[in-house]
């Protein structure tokens, strides 16, 4: 099955930081989540921690969290017993997926993460990235819309040697129907 360009960018990157800039409906968030879910399936019982972060919990729940649960439900992987709704975590094939808001950067001090996904990163304070970067053992995925002309991401993250930077648009997402495309245009 054909996937959005962002999916192949994520899958093909060997960099520690994978940074995806794309307009609305380019498929970047869904692609990162899809790759993380596939990774959990491939590396079952590894007991890795995958942390998914957005600025506020209501935004997290209404977007990236909803997409994550749609992906695992469509794959037939969702099991109620693995979903801790109080802690906002899900045990996916022996790997912990946790959803955290970034309203207080101090909450990231001391916590270890194997993989981190910073969703809509232009909403986050630079200190969140700094704390996460020091504590992430493997890969950091970042996505954002190109709405900010000046942002710390452009100076601090994208120029790094360990960062792959990719751009996408709605035209790179083969799943959009005609009505959505017309609305975007």
Residues 6+ apart with CB under 8 A from 53: 60, 99, 100, 101, 102, 116, 117, 118, 119, 124, 128, 132
* Mean pLDDT to the nearest integer, 5-22: 96
pLDDT value at 156 more than 70: yes
pTM for this model (two decimals): 0.94
* Mean pLDDT to the nearest integer, 80-89: 96
Q: Tokens 């910073």 belong to which residue?
A: 118
Looking at residue 119, its pLDDT comes to 97
Distance CA 54, CA 67 (A): 13
- Given the DSSP bridges, would you call strands 95-101 and 89-92 parallel, antiparallel or unpaired? antiparallel
> How far does Cα 126 stand from its chain's mean position?
17
The secondary structure of the chain as a DSSP string is ----HHHHHHHH--SSEEEEEE-TTSSHHHHHHHHHHHHHHHTTT---EEEEEESSHHHHHHTHHHHHHHHHHHTT---GGGEETTTTEEEETTEEEEEEE-S-GGGGTT--EEEEEETTGGGS-HHHHHHHHHHEEEEEEEEE-TT-SS-HIIIIITTSTTEEEEEE-GGG-TT--HHHHHHH-
Instruction: Decide which of 132 and 172 is more confident.
Output: 132
Looking at residue 177, its pLDDT comes to 78
Looking at residue 60, its pLDDT comes to 95
Looking at residue 105, its pLDDT comes to 62
pLDDT value at 106 more than 70: no
Q: pLDDT of 118-132, one tens digit each?
A: 999 999 999 999 999
User: Is residue 154 very low, low, confident or very high in pLDDT (cuts 50, 70, 90)?
Assistant: very high
pLDDT value at 180 more than 90: no
User: Is residue 8 very low, low, confident or very high in pLDDT (cuts 50, 70, 90)?
Assistant: very high
Instruction: Decide which of 174 and 62 is more confident.
Output: 62
pLDDT value at 99 more than 70: yes
């Amino acid at each position: 099955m054909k996937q959005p360009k962002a999916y192949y960018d994520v899958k093909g990157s060997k960099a520690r930081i994978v940074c995806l800039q794309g307009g609305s409906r380019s498929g970047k968030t869904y692609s990162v989540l899809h790759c993380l879910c596939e990774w959990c399936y491939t590396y079952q019982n590894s007991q890795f921690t995958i942390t998914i972060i957005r600025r506020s919990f209501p935004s997290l729940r209404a977007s990236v969290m909803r997409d994550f649960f749609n992906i695992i439900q469509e794959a037939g992987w969702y099991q109620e017993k693995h979903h801790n709704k109080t802690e906002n975590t899900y045990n996916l094939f022996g790997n912990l997926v946790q959803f955290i808001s970034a309203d207080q950067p101090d909450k990231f001090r001391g916590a270890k993460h194997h993989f981190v996904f910073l969703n809509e990163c232009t909403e986050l304070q630079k200190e969140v990235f700094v704390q996460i970067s020091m504590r992430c053992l493997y890969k950091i995925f970042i996505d954002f819309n190109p709405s900010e002309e000046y942002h710390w991401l452009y100076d601090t993250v994208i120029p790094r040697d360990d960062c792959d930077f990719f751009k996408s648009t709605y035209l790179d997402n083969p799943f959009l129907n005609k009505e959505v495309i017309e609305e975007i245009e």
